[in-house]
Structure formats: C-alpha cells, structure tokens
Amino acid sequence: MATTHALAGLALAAAIATVSPAFGTVAAVAAILGGLFPDFDLAAGHRRTLHFPVYYWVLAAPASLVAVFAPSDLTVVLAVFLVAAGLHSVMDLFGCGLEFKPWLGTSDRAVYSHYHGRWLAPRRWIRYDGAPSDLALAAMLAFPALFVFDANATIETAVVVLLLISIGYAALRHPLARLGEWLLARLPASVVAMVPEWIASAGEQRRSDQQRREQ
C-alpha cells in the first residue's frame, strides 16, 4: 500500500527525531512525501516512470552525507525524501507483481530498474497490496512514529490517518477490485483506451469470461 511506504519513511523520520529532535518535523514531512512520491506514476508507466530502485540511492547516499555533516532543514528534507523514495522502490520488489488482481500472482513485473534496463521479478514476501500481511507491516512501521511524535499533534494525526486508510483499504481491497472490473467491462472503448494497460486488461478479462458463459 502507498500508506505502508509512507509509514516506512516515517519510521526513518522517527529515528532521526530521536537523534536530532530539531529536525523531527521536517524529516517526517519529507518522509511522507518521499514515501508517496514514486506512486505518482500510477496513471502513466506505474512502477517505472518514478520508481528507481537503484538511482534514488545513488542520490540519497551523498545527500545523506551532506545532511550529517551540514545539517539544515533543506539538507535533511532532501536526504530523507530521497531515502524514503528509494525505500519505496525497493519495497515494491518484495511485494506483488504489477497486475489488477495481484493475489493471482500472474505478473513477473514488480518494479522496473533503469540501471539494469529490465523489470525485476516480485519476491511476494507480501502477497499483494492490502493483504493482511501488508496491513500488519504498516502497523509495525507506524509504532515508532506514534511513540516518538506523541507530542507533535500534527504528525501523530498524520500517522493515525495513514493507519486508518490502511485498514479501510485492506478491508475493501477485494471488493474494490471487483467493482473496478465491473466498471471497466462497461466503459466505452474510447475511455478504456486512456486507462493504463495493466488496469484495462481486467475489464477485457471480465468481458471474455462473460462471453464464454453466454456461449
């Protein structure tokens, strides 16, 4: 889940806040933004356009050194943002493949590596986004932030909201897929043509299944 990635970044921010409380808030904001940023490519080349499992770290390493030896709001924000985005990209490798119903396990595309010039295969340690194991991971990642930022109402509220969204998404993951599939099967072809292929294929599959049942 995107929220799991944001909470992973917040776990990093919690560690920074423990060592340098003055940078806790800016680190938390950067962690949330960096954790969510790669998924802004959802509508165009998802897990490829803004996902860089290698190159984010190439930038994050020197940025982190600068933040350590010349700490400021700017250097800390840049370093945390890049680390959180890199962590997101790598975490996708250990989840499911890119497909509308990832619990089926038919896709061998987890995340695209521009360094390797190919898609990396999913490890499926987390079966799919919104799986019970995904929710459990999100809850574990939220704990450090809830503990460290307990005096910061804004950040603590953000953590709680992310957790609530995670719970809601996990509860509705399968029904949402069925609803999306139903809608795609009924949308005009001109509209479906604008939908990313990995999503549009679900509607095509449903139409094929319906045609087979009618024969």
Q: pLDDT tens digit string along 109-126?
A: 999 999 999 999 999 999
The pLDDT of residue 182:
87
Strand ranges, E, within the chain: 111-113, 118-120
Selected residue with higher pLDDT from 208 and 135 = 135
pLDDT at 209 over 80: no
pLDDT attached to residue 204: 54
Q: Specify the length of the chain in residues.
A: 215
Q: Mind listing the pLDDT tens digit for each residue in 5-60?
A: 999 999 999 999 999 999 999 999 999 999 999 999 998 899 999 999 999 999 99
Q: Which of 121, 201, 108, 126 is nearest to 170 (CA)?
A: 126
The pTM (predicted TM-score) of the whole model is: 0.90
- In the chain, pLDDT over 70 holds for what percent of residues? 93
What is the residue extent of each domain of the chain?
A: 2-176
H runs (alpha helix) in 94-152: 132-148
The predicted pLDDT at position 14 comes to: 97
What tens digit of pLDDT does each residue of 178-204 get? 998 888 888 888 888 778 887 877 655
Q: Which residue has the tokens 């770290």?
A: 57
pLDDT the model gives residue 83: 98
